[in-house]
């Protein structure tokens, strides 16, 4: 049975294909369109999935959309009615937005793919999140907690799942918290208040929190209150996201927390104002963690299960995830590589396969590499055409040479195999560097990633050595498999791992098993033999504001535009020349001139 | 030419320091976005020389973006806290590429080069006016000077390469692109007008039709309990339904 899952129209659209119960490919539209967070209908992603599997759309048995559009429209309309007459400005925009395309999903899918309307199915948003988290995790029974900004009505849902010995699968969501009461919206509101982009820069708030002290926790607890049944409610006097599209916080919110940050102003942590923003980030982070830990603890007691599957965009908050693991009572916490909406494409397809069609359960490979492959031959061609120095090496020589490059302080662009699904570079589209000196972090932020100086970088370490350098609790290595947890760097190593140790002594470490990314694992070992520490700085292969690179040509242009010293794709290694760009201008000067007046 | 006629207006727009800072910051974003489009063009073209040129152009645009942002932030930092310019006049003083709409994936090199040439020419015209009216802000003026030098290269290479890839038809391609820009401007204007009319009709409906429903919705909301909502087993309904 061939099932295509689609997520689209809000942020980070994606497509995933499941054949006979197994995912065979999945990719985010942004990686193909090169527009970060691309929310458009994922036609390129669908085309790639079909091309990759040599399938025609007619061969698809079912297309599953990741949420119920009409239910979502009901929520939008109801919220506009409830906010009457304050929603008069937001109402036309919301209607034009929804009625323009978003509610006609069945027709759009049918017209784009030519599949009969009866083959188009719809899961609920949090069902998709739950399926993406539970059905891809190596566990038979687990509690499920999904939380994000908002789906149709739900913003947070809890339940449990079971993969039974007879092959049947059950996912039961027990209860939910409904819009506008939302942890995701709370965090996004602070993201906007702190001058960052909503739905994109929430992780910057988490990074900034490390520099602050939670001195405003009491204020934050005035805007989000726990309810007697263990849930929470937002005091809507402090918010406007439910009534307008212009601003997510109200004047009362500004009275409580002070003036918002101008997004253009850099955050200067040396100033009182900069410190206030950091304290604000630390405070909302603390309240988010406390709330999630409380809900997870109650779920653990209620279900009596040892495993928890976390889904939804809030599950990208590694600090909260680590606290849930440490304090909720669950022994293992599973977060998929794409817990956000992109992963819902895969979740929706798996949900339809296991639950709707009742197909027998199958173990899903425990890796995030479902996208297009990198082609080293293409890099050789590009380098040859542009007159760059490159080498095509056998694997062991290439690994040793790359380890030598890294040990010499060079920054390496690393492209290997299939693209990751999700926002983290987990070893197939990474920028790698030596993790030892703060100067390397600053160089990467300044010359390569072109981003704020407070932003930390993540390390990658082989699972065999992880405990030596990082304080991983039981279950920590699992959580760190897809960089989903933030854990302390051992004190004795912090100085030698300064480029990947955040100001609070933690790191968003990736713990790597050989089977998941064999070449990177071998590279880590080779680097360890040279430097004495088998740890590398691993950051996503992209520049600020751009999606992670997909094809080799995208890695190549990123390499050319930034301070990356070496680019490795497949078996090809490319290094920078002294002034490679001089050529283009010379070539133009030498080309035949044109009579400009005739051209006009 | 028309842009030149508004020189006194531009002088007024650029004289306010905070407005100037915000304008530069927005220009920075536009240049950076333009740079990304050019990177995409360099990734899509099968022509290796064009790939190198687009990439160099993209690097220039990125650098311009950095220069604009840096200068904008410098001006902002020099202002007294709490100062607030109310009117940004974005429409009157657009950035380098203004309302240009580049869809790189859909353009053959020939059309893209013509588009870029005209776009750079428009940008150069605008920037020369901005430079001229900024006689009291030497650092900002210097930025426009530097960018204008790059624009000359961009205009030249796009024209030269257009003649190379389309030796017989490059003149016609330029004229076609000029007409297409006019058509696209019309489409944008029509779409904007349509949105305004549509928005107005929806607002009228909002105030005429919605009030009783709003009253009902608020009444229902008051009865809703806070906290958890149980999910009934029936809610795991057929996947055929959108509702």
Shortest alpha-carbon distance between residue B38 and chain A (Å): 11
The answer on pLDDT for A15 being more than 60 is yes
**Residue A359 has what DSSP assignment?**
P
Q: Do A95 and B160 touch (CB under 8 A)?
A: no
Q: Do A176 and B76 touch (CB under 8 A)?
A: no
Which of the pair, B94 or A141, is modelled with greater confidence? A141
Among chain B residues, the shortest Cα distance to A357 is held by: B239
Choose from B172, B211, B228, B229 for mutation: most chain A CBs within 10 A. B228
**Residue A225 has what DSSP assignment?**
E
Tally C-beta pairs within 8 A across A and B: 182
CB contacts, 8 Å: A545 with chain B: 32, 36
> pLDDT tier at A585 (50, 70, 90 boundaries)?
low
Pair A225, A159: CB distance under 8 Å:
no
Q: HEC profile for A54-107? A: CCCHHHCCEEEECCCHHHHHHHHHHHHHHCCCHHHCHHHHHHHHHHHCHHHHHH
With an 8 Å Cβ cutoff, is A118 touching chain B? yes
CB contacts, 8 Å: A232 with chain B: 227
Percent residues over pLDDT 90 in chain A: 86
The answer on pLDDT for A295 being more than 50 is yes
The answer on pLDDT for A47 being more than 50 is yes
Among chain A residues, the shortest Cα distance to B167 is held by: A594
> pLDDT tier at A513 (50, 70, 90 boundaries)?
very high
DSSP B66-135: HHHHHHHHHHHHHSPTT-------TTTS--TTTT----GGG--HHHHHHHHHHHHHHHHHHHHHHHHH-T
Weakest-pLDDT range from A55-69, A409-423, B45-59, B77-91: B77-91
ipTM value:
0.87
Q: Which of A600, A417, A158 is nearest to B162 (CA)?
A: A600
pLDDT of residue A455: 75
> pLDDT tier at B91 (50, 70, 90 boundaries)?
low
> pLDDT tier at B27 (50, 70, 90 boundaries)?
very high
Computed over every residue of chain A, the mean pLDDT equals 93
With an 8 Å Cβ cutoff, is A233 touching chain B? yes
Q: Rounded mean pLDDT of B177-192?
A: 91
Q: What are phi and psi of A447, to 5 degrees?
A: -100, -15
The answer on pLDDT for B92 being more than 70 is no
> pLDDT tier at A587 (50, 70, 90 boundaries)?
low
Q: Which of B104, B110, B106, B122 is nearest to B162 (CA)?
A: B110
Q: Which of A340, A236, A222, A217 is nearest to A281 (CA)?
A: A217
Q: Do B243 and A93 touch (CB under 8 A)?
A: no
The answer on pLDDT for B208 being more than 90 is yes
Among chain B residues, the shortest Cα distance to A71 is held by: B243
Q: Rounded mean pLDDT of A11-19?
A: 95
With an 8 Å Cβ cutoff, is A106 touching chain B? yes
Q: Which of A440, A427, A437, A429 is nearest to A523 (CA)?
A: A427
Q: Which residue in the set A70, A95, A262 is minimally distant from B202, CB to CB?
A: A95
With an 8 Å Cβ cutoff, is A579 touching chain B? no
Weakest-pLDDT range from A335-339, A476-480, A570-574, A593-597: A593-597
Q: Which residue in the set B164, B211, B233 is minimally distant from A591, CB to CB?
A: B164
> pLDDT tier at B83 (50, 70, 90 boundaries)?
low
CB contacts, 8 Å: B110 with chain A: none
List, in order, residues 6 or more apart from A355 with CB less than 8 Å away.
Answer: A131, A169, A170, A171
Tens of pLDDT, residues A144-191: 999 999 999 999 999 999 999 999 999 999 999 999 999 999 999 999
Q: What are phi and psi of A333, to 5 degrees?
A: -125, 125
Q: Do A264 and B198 touch (CB under 8 A)?
A: no
Q: Which residue in the set A96, A175, A546 is minimally distant from B231, CB to CB?
A: A175
């Amino acid at each position: 049975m061939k099932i295509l899952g689609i997520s689209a129209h809000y942020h980070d659209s994606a497509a995933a294909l499941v054949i006979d119960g197994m995912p065979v490919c999945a990719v985010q539209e942004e990686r193909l369109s090169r527009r970060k967070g691309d929310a458009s209908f994922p036609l390129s992603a669908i085309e790639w999935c079909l091309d990759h599997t040599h399938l025609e759309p007619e061969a698809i048995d079912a297309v599953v959309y990741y949420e119920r559009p009409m239910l979502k429209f009901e929520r939008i309309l109801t919220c506009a009615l409830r906010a009457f007459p304050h929603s008069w400005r937001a109402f036309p925009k919301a209607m034009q937005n929804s009625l323009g395309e978003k509610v006609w999903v069945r027709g759009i899918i049918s017209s784009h793919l030519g599949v009969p309307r009866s083959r188009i199915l719809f899961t609920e948003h949090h069902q998709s999140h739950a399926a993406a988290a539970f059905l891809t995790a190596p566990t038979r029974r687990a509690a499920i907690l999904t939380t994000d900004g908002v789906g149709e009505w739900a913003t947070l849902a809890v339940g449990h799942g079971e993969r039974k010995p007879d092959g049947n699968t059950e996912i039961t969501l027990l209860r939910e918290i409904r819009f506008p009461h939302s942890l995701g919206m709370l965090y996004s509101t602070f993201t906007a208040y702190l001058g960052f982009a909503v739905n994109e820069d929430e992780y910057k708030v988490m990074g900034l929190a490390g520099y602050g002290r939670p001195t405003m926790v009491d204020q934050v607890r005035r805007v989000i209150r726990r309810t007697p049944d263990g849930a929470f409610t937002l005091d809507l006097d402090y918010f406007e996201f439910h009534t307008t599209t212009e601003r997510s916080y109200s004047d009362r919110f500004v009275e409580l927390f002070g003036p918002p940050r101008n997004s253009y102003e850099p955050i200067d942590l040396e100033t009182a104002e900069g410190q206030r923003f950091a304290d604000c980030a630390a405070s909302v982070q603390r309240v988010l963690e406390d709330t999630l830990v409380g809900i997870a603890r109650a779920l653990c007691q209620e279900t009596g299960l040892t495993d928890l599957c976390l889904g939804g965009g809030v599950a990208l908050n590694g600090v909260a995830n680590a606290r849930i693991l440490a304090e909720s009572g669950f022994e293992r916490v599973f977060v998929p590589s794409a817990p956000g909406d992109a992963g819902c494409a895969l979740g929706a397809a798996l949900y339809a396969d296991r639950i709707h069609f009742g197909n027998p359960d199958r173990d899903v490979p425990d890796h995030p590499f479902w996208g297009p492959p990198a082609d080293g031959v293409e890099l050789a061609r590009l380098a040859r055409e542009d007159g760059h120095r490159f080498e095509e090496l056998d694997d062991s020589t290439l690994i040793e040479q790359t380890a030598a490059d890294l040990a010499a302080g060079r920054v390496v662009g690393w492209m290997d195999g299939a693209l990751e699904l999700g926002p983290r570079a987990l070893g197939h589209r990474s920028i790698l560097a030596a993790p030892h000196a703060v100067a390397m972090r600053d160089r990467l932020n300044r010359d390569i990633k072109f981003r704020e100086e407070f932003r930390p970088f993540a390390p990658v370490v082989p699972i065999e050595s992880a405990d030596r350098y990082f304080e991983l609790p039981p279950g920590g290595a699992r959580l760190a498999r897809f960089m989903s947890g933030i854990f302390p760097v051992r004190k004795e190593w912090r100085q030698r791992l300064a480029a990947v140790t955040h100001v609070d002594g933690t790191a968003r470490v990736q713990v790597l098993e050989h089977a998941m990314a064999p070449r990177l694992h071998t590279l880590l070992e080779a680097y360890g033999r040279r430097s004495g520490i088998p740890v590398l700085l691993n950051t996503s292969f992209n520049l600020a504001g751009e999606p992670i690179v997909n094809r080799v040509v995208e890695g190549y242009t990123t390499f050319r535009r930034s301070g990356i010293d070496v680019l490795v794709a497949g078996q090809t290694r490319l290094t920078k020349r002294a002034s490679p760009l001089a050529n283009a201008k010379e070539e133009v000067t030498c080309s035949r001139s044109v009579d400009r007046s005739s051209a006009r | 030419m028309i842009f030149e006629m508004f020189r006194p207006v531009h002088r007024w727009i650029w004289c306010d320091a905070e407005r100037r800072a915000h304008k530069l910051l927005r220009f920075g974003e536009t240049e950076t976005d333009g740079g990304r489009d050019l990177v995409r063009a360099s990734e899509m073209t099968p022509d290796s020389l064009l790939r190198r040129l687009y990439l160099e152009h993209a690097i220039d645009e990125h650098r311009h973006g950095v220069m604009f942002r840096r200068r904008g932030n410098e001006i902002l930092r020099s202002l007294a806290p709490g100062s607030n310019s109310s009117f940004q006049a974005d429409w009157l003083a657009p950035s380098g590429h203004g309302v240009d709409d580049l869809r790189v994936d859909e353009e053959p090199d020939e059309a893209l080069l013509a588009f870029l040439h005209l776009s750079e020419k428009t940008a150069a015209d605008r920037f020369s006016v901005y430079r001229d009216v900024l006689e009291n802000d030497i650092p900002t003026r210097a930025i426009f000077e530097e960018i204008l030098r790059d624009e000359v290269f961009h205009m030249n290479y796009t024209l030269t390469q257009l003649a190379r890839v389309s030796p017989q038809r490059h003149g016609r391609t330029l004229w076609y692109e000029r007409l297409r820009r006019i058509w696209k401007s019309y489409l944008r204007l029509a779409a904007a007008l349509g949105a305004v009319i549509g928005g107005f009709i929806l607002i009228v409906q909002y105030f005429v039709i919605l009030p009783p429903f709003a009253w009902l919705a608020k009444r229902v909301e008051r009865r809703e309990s806070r906290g958890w909502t149980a999910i009934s087993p029936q809610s795991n309904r057929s996947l055929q339904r959108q509702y």
